[in-house]
Amino acid sequence: MDMRKVTTLKTLFILALSLAALSCSKKSSSSKNTSRATGWQINDREGGFQYNTRFEEQETSPGLVFIEGGTFTMGKVQDDVMHDWNNTPNQQHVQSFYMDETEVTNVMYLEYLDWIKRVYPPTDENFRAIYHGALPDTLVWRNRLGFNEIMTENYLRHPGYAEYPVVGVSWIQAVEFANWRSNRVGEMALQKEGYAKRGAHLTDVSADATFDIDTYINAPTLTYGGNEEVINPDGGRNTRNAQLDADGNPVNIYAKRESGILPLKYRLPTEAEWEYAALGLSEVRSYNIYRGRKKYPWDGQYTRAGKRRIRGDQLANFKQGKGDYGGIAGWSDDGADITNAVKSYDPNDYGLYDMAGNVAEWVADVYRPIVDDEFNDFNYYRGNVYTKNAIDEDGSVKIVTTEDIVYDTLSTGKLIARNLPGEILQVKVDEDETYLRTNFDRSNNINFRDGDRRSSRYYENFGDDEEEAQGTHTRKMYNSPRHTVERDSLGNLIREYDKSSNRTSLINDKVRVYKGGSWKDREYWLDPAQRRYYPEDMATDYIGFRCAMSRVGSKTKRKHKTKN
C-alpha cells in the first residue's frame, strides 16, 4: 500500500479517536451537570442550583501531610513502670486526616503574633489584652538553681531558634493559634479563586474588618467589615465560577461549602489521631495484619539507629540519663541539649518529624484515666462541648465587635481573648437541638461515662456542690483543687488558692492530654501510647504542639484499591 495512504489512514484513525474521546468527555461533563433527581441543569448560566461537580479531592493545606486512617490498638504500651494503668489497650478506628509535618515553630508563631500586633495594636488599651494573651510564657525557662536566662530572653524571637518548636504555649493558646491559621489560609484560598480582593490581608484588614471562615459561610457580607470592594471584587465578575443571570447581573458571587474552595479548619489532633500518626504502623504492616511490636515511631526496640550509614546515632532528642541531655561535647548522642530544630531527625513512615522527643505535644482531649471503647471505638475523643451560632433579634447571626470581645480570666490571672471581632458569637446548644435525640442530650459531654459522681449510682441531681453541704466527705472521683481568680469593682485581681486537705485528685475538666516524650524526658515517655495531663491554661518549657485537619471524601488517595 502507498505510504501516503497509510499515513492518511493513521491520521484519520487518530482524529476519530480524538473526536470519540471529546464526545465522551462532553457527555460525561453534561451528565455531571444534569440532576439525576429532577433532570434539571446544575450550574446553569441563568441560575438555579449551583454545585462544584468538578471537585476531585481535598487539597492539602500548607504544612500538612496526609495520614490514611485505619484500625489500630490504642494504649498498647511496652512498659508501665509507673503503674498508672491509664492506657488499657483497646481497638480503635481513626478516619483519614492531615497532620502538620513538624511541630509549630517559633517563626510560625511569631507570624501569628505579628498579625495580632498589626490588627489589634497593644498600644490601644481596648486591645492590649489580646496581644498579651497570645504571648508565650518565656519565663517557663527559669529554674531556681539554673542559669537559663539566655533562653528566657532569646528562645522565642532570636533567628538562631527560628525553626525550633515553640514552647511556653498553653493548650488554650494552641487552640487560638489553630483558629487564626484556619482563617488566614481560608482568605488566601478566596483570593486565589477571585472571591476576595488580592492582597486584602495586608491592605484592608483592621480590628473592625477581619476575615473569619464561619462568618463568611453564614454571612459573607459581614466579613471585612462589610467592605464590598474586598468581598466582591470587580462586582463578582472575576471569580472562577462567575455567572450572570438573564439580566446580566452577577450571581453566586460568594463561595459556599458547595463550592469546595474553602479549606477545612486547622485544629489540635485528638489523642487517638496523634497516637495513630506517631506509631506509623505502615512500617510493620503485612497485608491485613500488623507484624511484631512497635515501641517507638520507628521500627525496632531501641533508640539508636541500626542502619549502617548512621549506626549508633540517636533517633530522637530526649534525656539520656541524669545530667545527660545530649551527650559528650564533640561526640553528641542526639545533637541537642534543650530542643532542636525541626527535621533534625528522620521522619516516621507517614513523613512526620519529631513524633518522639524534642517537645511533648498538646492534643485536643480532656484527660481521664480511662478510654471508654465500650461506648465508642470510632474517632474516639473526650471533650465535646457543642455550641451553635448566636442569633440576633432580626434573625441574622450575631457577630462579635470590638465593643464586645469575650475574654477568659485563667486560673493564673491572665486574660485571653476567646472571641475576636468578626467571629460569630457561640452559645450552648439547647433543647431545640437535644430534645428526643439518642446520640447526645446536652451541650457539655466532657463528663459522659467517665466514672465521676455524675456517672455513679450515688448521683442525684441536687447540684454540683451537695457534698460540701454534707461535710468533708465526698464520693466524687475527680475531687480536684478549686482555685479562684476574680476581679473587684476596681479591676484588681483577687486570687484565692485552694488550701483544702480533702482533695483527692488533680484531674478536672480543664486538664488536657499531652503526648510524646520531650528533650526533658527519659526514654520511657517516647512510647506513643504513654499519656500525661496538664492544666489547659498553663505552659511549660517542654510542651509544644502541632495542628491537624480532618479529611472529607475518600478514605484513601490511592486510585486503585490494592488487592490483598
pLDDT at residue 233, as a whole number: 84
Domain contains 113: yes
Q: Please, what is the end-to-end C-alpha distance for the chain in angstroms?
A: 50
**Alpha carbons 382 and 359: distance in angstroms, whole number:** 23
Cell of 187: 482568605
Tell me the three cell numbers of residue 137: 510564657
> What value does the CA radius of gyration of the chain take, rounded to a whole number of Å?
28
pLDDT at 227 exceeding the cut of 90: yes
Q: What is the 3-state secondary structure (H, E, C) of 438-482?
A: CCCCCCECCCCCCCCHHHCCCCCCCCCCHHHHCCCCCCCCCCCCC
State residue 463's pLDDT score.
47
Q: What is the pLDDT of residues 16-32, one digit of tens each?
A: 666 655 555 555 556 78
Asked whether the beta carbons of 185 and 263 are under 8 A apart, the reply is yes
CA 354 from centre of chain: 17
Residue range of the domain that includes 371: 106-269+362-550
Average pLDDT, the chain: 86
- Decide: 541 and 141 in contact? Cβ < 8 Å: yes
pLDDT tens profile 261-275: 999 999 999 999 999
Cα(65)–Cα(198) distance, integer angstroms: 27
The total of structural domains in the chain comes to 1
For the whole model, what pTM was predicted? 0.89
Query: Is the pLDDT score of 62 beyond 90?
Result: yes
H or E, element range at 114: helix 106-119
CA distance 539 to 525: 19
Q: Which amino acid is at 243?
A: Q
| pLDDT higher than 50, residue 472 | no
Range scoring the smallest mean pLDDT among 8-17, 166-175, 400-409: 8-17
Cβ burial, residue 514 (10 Å; 0-12/13-18/19+): buried
**DSSP tally for the chain: helices H, then strands E:** 11, 21
**Cβ atoms of residues 222 and 424 within 8 Å:** no
Q: Are 175 and 512 in contact (CB under 8 A)?
A: no
Q: Could you tell me if residue 6 is inside a domain?
A: no
**Residue whose C-alpha is closest to residue 305's, from 315, 296, 295:** 315
Res 103 pLDDT > 70: yes
CB atoms within 10 A of CB 234: 13
DSSP annotation of 47 reads B
Q: CA–CA separation, 192 vs 186, rounded Å?
A: 10
Region 80-98 average pLDDT: 87
pLDDT the model gives residue 484:
86
Q: What is the pLDDT of residue 328?
A: 84
Q: What is the dihedral sign for C-alpha 503, 504, 506, 507?
A: negative
214 domain residue, yes or no: yes
The CB density around residue 212, as the number of other CB atoms within 10 Å, is 25
Residues near 437 by Cβ (< 8 Å), separated by ≥ 6? Answer: none
Give residue 466's pLDDT band: very low, low, confident or very high (50, 70, 90). very low
Q: Which helix (H) or strand (E) holds 361?
A: strand 360-366
**Phi, psi at residue 467, to the nearest 5°?**
-70, -25
Which contiguous run of DSSP H or E holds residue 290? strand 289-290
Dihedral angle, C-alpha 315, 318, 323, 326, nearest 10 °: 40
Closest by CA to 137, choosing from 367, 532, 548, 416, is 416
Tell me if 288 is assigned to some domain. no
293 falls within a domain: no
Which residues partner with 487 through β-bridges?
A: 493
List the one residue out of 358, 418, 416 whose CA is nearest residue 166: 358
Exposed/middle/buried for residue 28 (C-beta within 10 Å: 0-12, 13-18, 19+)? exposed
Rounded distance, CA 212 to CA 220, Å? 9
Q: Which residue has the higher pLDDT, 477 or 322?
A: 322
Provide CB contacts within 8 A for 70, sequence distance 6+: 93, 94, 276, 281
User: What CA–CA distance (Å, rounded) separates 90 from 343?
Assistant: 31
Closest-CA residue to 475 (of 506, 507, 452)? 452
3-state secondary structure of 92: strand
Average pLDDT on 401-408 reads 88
Q: Is the distance from CB of 342 to CB of 109 less than 8 angstroms?
A: no
Residues 152-166 have a mean pLDDT of 98
Specify the pLDDT at position 238: 57
Which of 339, 313, 327 lies closest to 516 in space, CA to CA?
Answer: 339
Report residue 167 CA to chain centroid gap.
17
Q: Is 67 a domain residue?
A: no
Q: Please, what is the Cα angle at 141 between 140 and 143, to 5 degrees?
A: 100
* Within-domain flag for 392: yes
Structural domain contains residue 321: no
